Chains A and B, each alone.
Chain A
Amino acid sequence: MSALSRPVPVADEQSAPFWAAAADHVLAVARCSRCGAFSHPLDLACPHCGSTDPAFVFSPVDGRGTIRSWTVMRQSFLPGFDVPFVLVDVELRAQADLRMIGRLMDGPDAAISVGAAVSIVFEDIAPRVSVPAFALSANS
């Protein structure tokens, strides 16, 4: 398994703007054109207003959030990851219950706690492919 590399995201027609923004190290989340609410992950309908024609537009959002949970991955079931690494479940400041899961770049020895403040960062995993991750905020 260690000979294989990390899996890369494959953008589709709907998600292409997210990954294009990520390549520029910008966090852009889908916003419903009908009600203005953010959705992550993207869906065919808006989960907030129910519109089946949400005409989602990816809009840059504040990358700050708080940790809701975490795990330390000491074994990976995916190829290409060096263990141990930390995954955090983050609630973004941009909208209540807007959640994202990503690696915490500070690593397993960092002071991780529920409620700790984090900010979005990006990992460059392949040419023009960057993946959102998190780092503990300086003042947490």
Chain B
Amino acid sequence: MAASNQVAIVGYAQSPVRRHADQTLGGLTVETARRAIDDAGLTLSQVDGFVTASLFPSAGAHAAEDGVSLVSANWLAEHLQVNPTYAAGFQGFGQIPGAVSMAVNAVMSGAADYVLVHRALHNPQGRYHENPMQEARGSRQWTVPQGYFGPLAMIALAYNEYLERYGATREAMAAVVSEARKNGARIPWSYWFENPLTAEEYLAAPMINDPICRFDCDIPVDGVAAFVFTSAERARDLPRRPVYVAGYATGAPVTRRLPLHWPLDDIMGIGVETGRRLWARSGVRSSEVDLPQVYDGFSPFVYFWMESLGLCPAGEAHRLVLEGGIDSDRPGALPVLSGGGALGNGRMHGVPQMLECYLQLSGRAGERQRPDASIGVACHSSPHFGGAVVYSADPF
């Protein structure tokens, strides 16, 4: 068993999530890292490992500059004036589960005792995904000249396949998005704090790339989160209730496709295997998960993850949500967006799902505390191009 509750999160910090921070991303990251270390009851000198995934996930032609539009592990360590024994960046699919897996492996192998995992997201000036390119080279030559470009077109094709195949309607997705925004509106650091969205407002929104409208997309933001990982044994001496990593799994496509082409059968074919791996490697069954947190950077991912995790049969997620099945305020519902997700917080790219698992399982969710939270799953990206982590309140 990969992680087996041998490594735990022992502290965290989350910056305010804003459209544009009034400081550099690097500055915000340094501050957030310091707060997380302090929250864990540690001193900076004890932190010897730094891990992140520093991808700047925009399709636009924005400069990728360390400290400005992204923050690497080494950049952070240097600016904290730490010479780390272990600093690493995850380059694969599913930035958050990938970074968590590297931190877990570092602690388990003894490469570092206390590992800071951070994720820094940036909203550049100008339109986020807009790209003024005049030439399409390399793999782009096969799709860009035709006008196919950007993640909205990518997810629109997959979502439309789902709607057509299963007879789903936008009304069901209105329930998803309003649920995410309802919960995000309860979170003080969220961009959407005190700003929920009704189903009517969702349905009235104009299309961008049919059937994707503005509210199906998370809003680009500046924001940073940081978590401290250490061994379960060392966690016992620290002030916060540990949240253990029970296991993790990722999925990657094997079928050669055009760039940004995600056929629904690719997503779900691999996605089901990602789910199977997750349960096998974490030693839990899907029925034992009381706090699933599905990824929602684009709203259709909610269906894809719910079905990949086996929370409902294939093609049934839209029906379940329409019946109130994911209303986190309803007893017995699947609280898959209780943390607000990306739609409810802002484009924090897998962080809200992880943060909700941490806050609930450590008993630190305050007014939003769910009394029954014991096993959580934090998902990120697509089930076929991403991954998930299982967290446990107890080291079973």
Give 1 or 0 for each of A94-113: 1 = CB within 8 Å of chain B CB: 00010111110000000001
Determine if A15 and B141 form an interchain contact, defined as CB atoms under 8 angstroms apart.
yes
B134 touches A7 (CB 8 A): yes
Which residues of the partner chain B approach A60 to less than 8 Å between Cβ atoms?
none
| Inter-subunit contact B145/A7 (CB<8 Å) | yes
With A78-B131, A114-B164 as known contacts, state yes or no: A73 contacts B141, CB within 8 Å: no
Selecting from B48-56, B255-263, B282-290, the interface stretch reads: B255-263
How long is the Cα–Cα vector from A102 to B153 in the complex, in angstroms? 12
Q: Are A10 and B137 in contact (CB under 8 A)?
A: yes
Q: Which of B133, B139, B146, B256 contacts A131 (CB 8 A)?
A: B146
Find chain B residues with CB under 8 A from A9 CB: 135-136, 141-142, 144-145
**In the bound complex, how far is the Cα of B137 from the Cα of A77, in angstroms?**
17
A4 at the interface (CB under 8 A from B): yes
**B212 and chain A: residue at smallest CB distance:** A71
Produce 1/0 per residue, A45-88, CB < 8 A to B.
Answer: 00100000000000000000000111111111111010001010
With A70-B157, A87-B148 as contacts: A41 and B139 at CB distance below 8 Å: yes
Bound Cα distance from A35 to B149, whole angstroms? 32
Q: Is the CB of B152 within 8 A of A77?
A: yes
Contact A7 B136 (CB under 8 A): yes
Taken together as a complex, chains A and B put the C-alpha atoms of A39 and B257 apart, in Å, by: 9
CB pair B153 A7 closer than 8 Å: no
Cβ of A76: which chain B residues have Cβ within 8 Å of it? 147
Q: Is A26 an interface residue (CB 8 A)?
A: no
In angstroms, Cα B310 to Cα A118, docked, is 36
Indicate if the CB atoms of B160 and A8 lie closer than 8 Å: no
**A5 in contact (CB, < 8 A):** yes
Q: Is A13 an interface residue (CB 8 A)?
A: no
In the assembled complex, B64 has its CB within 8 A of some CB on chain A: no
B153: chain A residues at CB < 8 Å are: 71, 73, 77, 87
- Does A72 lie within 8 Å of B134, measured CB to CB? no
In which size bucket is the chain B interface?
A: 35 or more
Task: Mark contacts of B173-215 with chain A using CB atoms, 8 A cut-off: 1 yes-contact digit, 0 otherwise.
Answer: 0000000000000000000000000000000001111111000
Q: Are A99 and B146 in contact (CB under 8 A)?
A: no
Query: Which residues of the partner chain B approach A7 to less than 8 Å between Cβ atoms?
Result: 133-136, 144-145
Given A41-B256, A99-B263, A6 and B145 touching (CB < 8 A)?
A: yes
Given A71-B160, A72-B209, A72-B210, the answer on whether A77 and B129 have CB atoms closer than 8 Å is yes
Which chain A positions have C-beta within 8 A of B38? none
Q: How far is B141's CA from A132's CA once the two chains are assembled, in angstroms?
A: 12
Once the chains are docked, how many angstroms separate the CA of A116 from the CA of B153? Answer: 20
Query: Would you give the 0/1 interface string for B112-150, flagging 1 where the beta carbon is closer than 8 Å to chain A?
Result: 000000000000000101111111111101111111111
Contact string against A for B residues 54-97, beta-carbon threshold 8 Å, 1 for contact and 0 otherwise: 00000110000000000000000000000000000000000000
A10 to B158, Cβ gap below 8 A? no
Is residue A138 contacting chain B, with contact meaning CB distance below 8 A? no
**Is the CB of B161 closer than 8 A to any CB of chain A?**
yes
- List residues of chain A with CB within 8 A of the CB of B136: 7-10
B149 and A78 form a contact (CB under 8 A): yes
B256 touches A99 (CB 8 A): no
- Pair B257/A99 contact, Cβ less than 8 Å: yes
CB-based closest 7 A-B pairs: A71-B156, A72-B210, A9-B141, A77-B150, A47-B256, A69-B157, A69-B161
Q: Which residues in A have some Cβ–Cβ distance to B below 8 Å?
A: 1, 4-12, 15, 39-41, 43, 47, 68-79, 81, 85, 87, 89, 97, 99-103, 113-114, 125, 131-133
Extra A-B contacts (15), CB below 8 Å, given A68-B161, A77-B150: A9-B142, A10-B141, A69-B161, A69-B263, A70-B160, A71-B212, A74-B208, A74-B209, A77-B129, A81-B147, A89-B261, A99-B257, A102-B146, A114-B164, A132-B146
